[in-house]
Amino acid sequence: MAVSLHTDEEIQQNVLSELRWDTRVQPNEIGVAVKDGIVTLTGWVDSYLKKLAAEDAAHRVRGVKAVVNDLEVHLPGSAERTDADLAEAVLSALNGMPIFQQARST
């Protein structure tokens, strides 16, 4: 049975350090908790890229057994889309596909 050489506190500090080095994230937006080598990320970020980048950074740290990514993504107001906007975008995309153009012309 392998014994972990890294304490939870060391892992936490190393994850926080890794987040500071990753230019894709703002470490002050992300909380890091560690229990038995399992890292939990909490907080709010403004993009899915940042959420995934934070998880990647945590996985790069030695001693991390798993990562629970509880980060919430809060998109800026200008990036939010209503259901009507989404429906219109889907219809527009489908109308541009040849198979749907063919079906409408017959």
| Domain residue ranges in the chain | 1-74, 77-106
Quick one: what percent of the chain has pLDDT higher than 70? 84
The model carries a pTM of 0.69
CATH architecture of 1-74: 2-Layer Sandwich (3.30)
What own/partner pairs with CB < 8 Å and gap ≥ 24 does 40-45 have? 40/67, 40/68, 40/70, 41/67, 41/68, 41/69, 41/70, 41/71, 42/70, 42/71, 43/71, 43/72, 44/71, 44/72, 44/73, 44/74, 45/71, 45/72, 45/73, 45/74
pLDDT, residue 71, reads 97
Quick one: what percent of the chain has pLDDT higher than 90? 61
